[in-house]
Structures are given as structure tokens and as C-alpha cells.
């Protein structure tokens, strides 16, 4: 959907449209001119006019209007003209962090940007506002290297938090979301700091901590909830141990084990940056809780190297674009789709614990949700997981009921054509291996 606003169009007899500079899932953004105050502005105009999106759009304006900080994009005005809802924002000359090279950024530059982000978050948190969607596309870096946080469309007041399971809808950007959000919780200050940790990991290592090159959305969700990322120093040996510990603490699964607030994190990062700028000094000491958290870390879980998520999704077919947007930079507005992905993730968790019946129930429910929708890749992967579940159960129990053998064969056979068409070699190899294993089973229990 588009606003159809053309250059020289005027909103509210005041804001002249100059050019379109961005488009997202909910709104278009234009560079404009405020003829009353004679200054450039950014004009954000709603394109999706559903009740839920309109509510979030108004929430963004209300949240940002309460914030006055040099590292937060200022909101100047909000209104409706000719049925078009708009927000007038500070215009920042520069690029989003998404548009910058995040793979080769110097340590000092990365820390400087993250510290500016944290200053903004500390201020917002002190005002009782959680951002809930920290990601490169929501961070502007001006031509003079000042970072500005924008898009508080998902922001919530701490006093108005509610459990997301009421709507069954996960919003935000999957690659940067904290584990608790996938488990139906709304999140708090520690959730914002987890997203900062993902971003810091990306800037330091040139890759995301859970960027699976297969583009498997449910697997990324599962990884956030269950897997420990490879420590940054194993990706980039130039990272000092103190910084490595900070990042790993930010990425803790349990919110209580992360930093309690941005202020303490800022203090530790500034100490690291000071040490980097003066190599002769000893490594900075973290606070006692940070040292204890580092000492309690389990051994690293090795993961295959992969490109960042946005690149890995580039080859997805057109009907799966919503899956790609969910994982990279947009919202998925289908509550049924996000509920299905959550079911798949829960099935994976149960399968890992050999809770066979519970895993089967989750997968079957996900199949029922995905079948009417145009997400063939996710449906095929769910079929393959169901087949693999039966195979794993039969291997673990030593019993091969004919009904389960037939069901496993049926699901794997349904999955393979789509997986092959999508050239998902890892998935294809696993599904074929499971089918081959079924051939060696006896015809009856």
C-alpha cells in the first residue's frame, strides 16, 4: 500500500513533500520542508491503516514526544490530513546503521556508537519507556557520527506492560529479539539490553550470534531461546576478554543474569574503550556481578559460520517474502503465522527433551496453521521435523509402530520436493537420511 504522495504535495498547509526517503511495513518516510519554521523535517505517513497499526503509529508519536535527548530523533508534530496520519520528525542527514558496513567496523567506532545508543536507552528507560525494537534499521548515524534512535512504534511504558500471549503476536525483528519475547513475554529494560548485545556482537564479529544460513525462521527462534552463542573472542581475537564477558552477559537467556540497567553497562564499556585507547594500561575490571557471571559461563557451543540473516534470506521465493521480512527488518502482521512459528519452536524444545507426544502435538498444530497460508518453505520444514521426530522416537525406544513408520514416510515425502526446489541442501540431506533409515525398519512392530 502506498500514500501516493508526490513531490510538492503539502500536508496541513505547512509541510511540503520533497522526496520519499524510505518505506516500511507500516509507513512511508519523506524528506519535507516546514514552511512555518523554515527547516527540513522527516514526514512519516501511515500506509497500513488497520486498527492495530494505527494504534502503534499513535503510540510511536506519543512515546517519542515524551523524549528529549540528543541521541533520540525528536518528534515535532502529529496529525491527520485528507485521511493521512502523519508524524513530523527531526530530519537527520546520514545513514541508518543497516546501510553501513557492519562487518569491518573498528572496535573503537563500534563502542562509540553503542555507547550513544545506551545513553538514549538509559534516558528512555528512566522515563519509563522500553523501545522493544532495537535493530540497525532503527538507528540513524548522522554525517557527523551522532547516533539517533528512531521508530518507537513498538515502545511501551513500563507501567503498561502486558503479556504478548494475549494476542499471540510476536512483533519486532527476529534476529535481535530476546528469548523472552519468543516465549510470549512483553519484555523490560533487560530485553532492550539483549538487543543491544546482539547488535554489539554483530559489530564486533561481523556476523549475528544466531544467523543461520539456511534461513530457517523457527530454528533462529529456537537458537535464541536455547543455544549459547560462540563467544566473540573466538570470532575476533582482537576483542579484549573484558569486552567478551560483557557481550556474553548481555546475551544471557535469563533477563535477571543480564545487566540490570544501561548505566552500569555504560560504565563497563567506557572502561573497555579507555583501555583500548591506552594499550599500556591494565585491562579494566568489571563489577563483581559481571565477573561472577563470566565465571559461571558454560563451555561454548560451536556453530557453523554463516552470513548475516538478511543475506541468507535473499534467495527465498516470492511467496515466502513475509518470512524474510520477519527475520530481517519488517513486521509480520499475521498472528496465525507467528503462532505457527512459536508452535514449531516449542515442538523443537519438546523433541530435544524426548517429550515425543508433546512435540508431535506442537508440530501437527503448526501444520494446521501453515497449510492454508503461502509459506511453503516453513510448511515443508515442519513436515520434515515431524518425520524426523518419529524417526528419533523409534531410534530411542527401539519400537517401530507401522502407523508411525507410515506417518514419517508420508511427512518426509511431502517435504522433500519443496526443500529440493528451494535448494536447502542441509534440510534435503537430513530428510533423505531419515527416509533411508525408515527403509531398514521391519514392516511391523
Alpha-carbon dihedral sign for residues 19, 22, 24, 29: negative
Q: Which one is catalytic: 133, 151, 216, 427?
A: 133
The C-alpha atoms of residue 382 and residue 370 are separated, in whole angstroms, by: 9
Catalytic annotation present for 133: yes
The C-alpha atoms of residue 122 and residue 344 are separated, in whole angstroms, by: 35
Q: What is the DSSP letter of 286?
A: P
Query: How many helices (H) and strands (E) would you count in the chain?
Result: 16, 11
The C-alpha atoms of residue 290 and residue 285 are separated, in whole angstroms, by: 9
Cell numbers for 286, please give them: 568489571
Helix (H) or strand (E) holding 393: helix 376-397
User: 176: buried, middle or exposed (CB in 10 Å: 19+, 13-18, 0-12)?
Assistant: buried
In angstroms, how far is CA 302 from the centroid of its own chain?
Answer: 21
- Supply angle C-alpha 200, 206, 212, rounded to 5: 95
The C-alpha atoms of residue 306 and residue 36 are separated, in whole angstroms, by: 51
The C-alpha atoms of residue 381 and residue 220 are separated, in whole angstroms, by: 13
The C-alpha atoms of residue 387 and residue 415 are separated, in whole angstroms, by: 9
| Pairing mode of beta strands 39-46, 84-90 | antiparallel
Active site residues: 133
Amino acid at each position: 500500500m502506498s500514500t501516493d504522495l508526490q513531490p510538492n504535495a503539502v500536508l496541513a498547509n505547512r509541510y511540503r513533500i520533497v522526496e520519499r526517503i524510505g518505506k516500511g511495513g507500516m509507513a512511508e518516510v519523506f524528506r519535507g520542508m516546514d514552511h512555518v519554521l523554515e527547516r527540513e523535517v522527516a514526514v512519516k505517513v501511515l500506509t497500513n491503516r488497520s486498527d492495530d497499526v494505527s494504534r502503534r503509529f499513535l503510540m510511536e508519536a506519543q512515546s517519542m514526544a515524551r523524549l528529549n535527548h540528543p541521541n533520540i530523533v525528536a518528534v515535532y508534530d502529529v496529525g491527520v490530513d485528507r485521511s493521512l496520519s502523519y508524524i513530523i520528525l527531526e530530519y537527520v542527514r546520514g545513514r541508518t546503521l543497516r546501510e553501513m558496513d557492519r562487518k569491518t567496523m573498528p572496535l573503537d567506532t563500534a563502542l562509540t556508537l553503542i555507547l550513544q545508543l545506551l545513553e538514549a536507552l538509559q534516558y528512555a528507560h528512566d522515563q519509563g519507556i522500553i523501545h522493544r525494537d532495537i535493530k540497525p534499521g532503527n538507528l540513524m548515524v548522522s554525517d557527523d557520527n551522532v547516533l539517533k534512535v528512531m521508530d518507537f512504534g513498538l515502545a511501551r511504558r513500563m507501567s503498561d506492560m502486558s503479556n504478548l500471549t494475549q494476542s499471540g503476536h510476536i512483533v519486532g525483528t527476529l534476529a535481535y529479539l530476546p528469548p523472552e519475547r519468543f516465549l510470549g513475554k512483553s519484555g523490560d529494560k533487560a530485553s532492550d539490553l539483549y538487543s543491544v548485545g546482539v547488535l554489539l556482537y554483530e559489530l564486533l564479529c561481523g556476523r549475528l550470534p544466531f544467523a543461520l544460513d539456511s534461513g530457517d525462521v523457527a530454528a533462529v527462534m529456537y537458537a535464541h531461546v536455547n543455544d549459547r552463542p560462540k563467544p566473540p573472542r573466538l570470532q575476533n581475537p582482537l576483542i579484549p576478554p573484558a569486552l567478551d564477558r560483557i557481550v556474553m552477559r548481555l546475551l544471557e537467556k535469563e533477563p535477571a543474569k543480564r545487566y540490570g540497567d544501561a548505566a552500569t553497562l555504560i560504565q563497563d564499556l567506557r572502561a573497555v574503550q579507555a583501555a583500548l585507547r591506552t594499550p599500556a594500561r591494565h585491562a579494566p575490571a568489571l563489577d563483581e556481578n559481571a565477573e561472577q557471571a563470566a565465571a559461571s559461563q558454560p563451555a561454548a557451543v560451536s556453530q557453523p559460520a554463516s552470513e548475516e540473516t538478511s543475506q541468507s534470506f535473499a534467495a527465498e521465493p516470492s511467496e515466502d517474502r513475509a518470512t524474510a521480512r520477519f527475520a530481517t527488518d519488517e513486521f509480520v502482521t499475521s498472528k496465525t503465522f507467528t503462532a505457527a512459528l512459536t508452535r514449531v519452536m516449542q515442538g523443537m524444545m519438546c523433541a530435544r527433551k524426548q517429550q515425543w507426544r508433546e512435540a508431535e502435538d506442537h508440530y501437527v498444530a503448526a501444520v494446521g496453521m501453515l497449510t492454508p497460508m503461502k509459506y511453503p518453505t516453513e510448511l515443508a520444514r515442519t513436515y520434515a521435523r515431524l518425520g524426523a521426530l518419529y524417526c528419533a522416537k523409534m531410534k530411542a525406544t527401539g519400537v517401530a509402530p507401522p502407523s508411525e513408520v507410515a506417518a514419517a514416510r508420508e511427512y518426509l515425502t511431502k517435504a522433500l520436493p519443496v526443500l529440493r526446489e528451494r535448494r536447502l541442501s542441509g534440510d534435503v540431506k537430513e530428510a533423505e537420511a531419515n527416509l533411508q533409515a525408515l527403509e531398514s525398519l521391519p514392516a511391523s512392530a
